[in-house]
Amino acid sequence: VFSTVEMAPRDPILGQSEQFNLDTRPVKANLGVGVYFDDAGRLPLLACVQAAEKAMLSAPSTRGYLPIDGIAAYDNAVKALVFGADSEPVQSARVATVQAIGGTGGLKIGADFLKKLSPDAKVLISDPSWENHRALFSGAGFTVDSYAYYDAEKRDLNFDAMLASLNAAAAGSIVVLHACCHNPTGYDISPGQWDQVIAVIEARGLTPFLDMAYQGFGHGIAEDGAVIGKFVAAGLNLLVSTSFSKSFSLYGERVGGLSVLCTDKEQASRVLSQLKVVIRTNYSNPPTHGAAVVAAVLNDPELRALWERELAQMRLRIKAMRQQLVAGLKAAGVRQDMDFINRQIGMFSYSGLSRAQMLRLRNEFGVYGTDTGRMCVAALNPQNLAHVCQAIAQVLEG
Ligand code: LMR
């Protein structure tokens, strides 16, 4: 039965880590996957997480099945974080939120739900987008197209082209948008540009699906989430997938969520019932630990304040690394202007390097980024920076 199974290619992102782990060279840097490491190159275990876990250990809990939609205190905390605790949608109970297995899980629950609802709709993702968006929505049975976003020549956004593509989209298309810290380019649209995108979405009758995997890594938690308020103000329905992998450094706990902004409370309860069917038929119900930790932190004022400070430290360290990368590239002899890296935001830099150059970086210097030229700035540190800069300089100028 398995004789015709073909070998699938390595995952374009996680496959980099697989290869990196097999690489025995002493000097190497994994800038492939979107993971934050601290100045010492270590994956942080946040103090707010440790405090919550300590409290949990002193009052150990049993591990029965969770409700299909997850821990209620967690779902409420996600709602409050995404929409605002006192916001009208939360107050009028018109948001359906479910716990999900990471941000990817939130996207997949949303995709399966939408496929049943609008089987013929097309999904539009940005060009380029997170590598897994196309695969995930195609896997859910959708035809996936893209809307313009990035101008490789200018190394900048192409906002006019983005608006034009959205204006040309068929009514009912599902548009996947990055709420903040665009992955992979690092270029976000401005608040004023969001207003224009929202106007087109409304005029064309498109369904917005926001991927918010990096809230807090751009300008701040509230600032990065502000776009949600714009959709609410426009009176649109909306799906938002949330991830705490990065913002809580809880990658392996797979803590995420999906929130669906509905028209009223009664509609939200029908939507929730359908989300639960999707979850039940995929993995029954979610795991306990990660969501319990996040709920404990978000629902405790002191731990929440600690989390916000720790997240701000991560955000500021990435910014500092961007500046040092630009300076280091110059010092290493790169003649072209690399200052665009400082205009990018979030964990990534779309470096503009070609596939061949990225392969050289990997093969000759042990510097891993994706084939499309994305590098994770959040994995740079004072120990690996000089090597990375010299490697990029060799590839660009050598
Ligand atoms: C990334 O883009 O590197 C992260 O979101 C990790 C992943 O799952 O791809």
CA of 267 to the centre of ligand 1 (A): 33
Is the same domain home to 227 and 88?
Answer: yes
- Which amino acid residue places its CA nearest to atom 5 of ligand 1? 34
- Ligand 1 environment, Cβ below 6 A: 13, 33-34, 130, 132, 183, 213
CA of 244 to the centre of ligand 1 (A): 12
My answer on whether omega of the bond before 12 falls inside 30° of 0, hence cis, is no
**Position 4 in a domain:** no
Is the same domain home to 139 and 282?
Answer: yes
**Position 309 in a domain:** yes
The pLDDT value given to residue 232: 98
| Cβ-based neighbour number of residue 43 at 10 Å | 12
CA 58 vs. chain centroid, Å, equals 33
Whether the Cβ atoms of residue 358 and residue 294 lie closer than 8 Å to each other: no
**What's the structural domain count of the chain?**
2
Phi, psi of 377 (to 5 degrees): -65, -25
Is the same domain home to 346 and 259?
Answer: no
The pLDDT tens digits of the residues spanning 369-385 come to: 999 999 999 999 999 99
Is the same domain home to 236 and 361?
Answer: no
The pLDDT tens digits of the residues spanning 111-148 come to: 999 999 999 999 999 999 999 999 999 999 999 999 99
CA of 13 to the centre of ligand 1 (A): 6
Q: State yes or no: is 154 an active-site residue.
A: no
Q: What is the mean pLDDT of residues 16-31?
A: 94
CA–CA distance from 365 to each of 20, 27, 31, 378 (Å)?
A: 12, 8, 12, 19
**Position 243 in a domain:** yes
My answer on whether omega of the bond before 208 falls inside 30° of 0, hence cis, is no
Mutational test site, ligand 1, from 11, 132, 180, max ligand atoms within 8 Å of CB: 132
Is the same domain home to 187 and 262?
Answer: yes
Whether the Cβ atoms of residue 127 and residue 108 lie closer than 8 Å to each other: no
The pLDDT value given to residue 138: 98
The pLDDT tens digits of the residues spanning 258-299 come to: 999 999 999 999 999 999 999 999 999 999 999 999 999 999
Is the same domain home to 135 and 261?
Answer: yes
- Comparing CA positions, the residue from 114, 73, 66 lying closest to residue 274 is 114
Q: What angle do CA 141, 143, 145 make, to 5 degrees?
A: 145
Is the same domain home to 76 and 184?
Answer: yes
Is the same domain home to 333 and 190?
Answer: no
Cα separation, 189 vs 348, whole angstroms: 15
At 91, which CATH number?
3.40.640.10
**Position 71 in a domain:** yes
Is the same domain home to 98 and 197?
Answer: yes
Phi, psi of 10 (to 5 degrees): -60, 150
At 316, which CATH number?
3.90.1150.10
End residue of a domain, out of 263, 280, 299: 299
Q: How sure is the predictor about 398, in pLDDT bands with cuts at 50, 70 and 90?
A: confident
CA–CA distance from 389 to each of 182, 245, 326 (Å)?
A: 23, 28, 9
pTM above 0.90, yes or no: yes
The pLDDT tens digits of the residues spanning 243-259 come to: 999 999 999 999 999 99
End residue of a domain, out of 299, 315, 338: 299
- Comparing CA positions, the residue from 20, 12, 16 lying closest to residue 366 is 20
Give me the amino acid identity at 138.
Answer: S
Residue 360: domain span: 14-45+304-397
CA 267 vs. chain centroid, Å, equals 28
**Mean pLDDT over the full length of the chain:** 97
Looking at the chain, the whole-number percentage of residues with pLDDT higher than 90 is: 99
For residue 122, the 8-state DSSP code is E
Is the same domain home to 141 and 37?
Answer: no
Is the same domain home to 95 and 31?
Answer: no
The pLDDT tens digits of the residues spanning 331-370 come to: 999 999 999 999 999 999 999 999 999 999 999 999 999 9
End residue of a domain, out of 299, 332, 360: 299
Structure tokens that stand for 392 in this block:
């990029």
Catalytic residue among 108, 224, 246, 371: 246
The pLDDT tens digits of the residues spanning 37-87 come to: 999 999 999 999 999 999 999 999 999 999 999 999 999 999 999 999 999
Structure tokens that stand for 226 in this block:
């502000």
Cα separation, 280 vs 24, whole angstroms: 43
Q: What is the mean pLDDT of residues 153-178?
A: 97
CA 127 vs. chain centroid, Å, equals 16
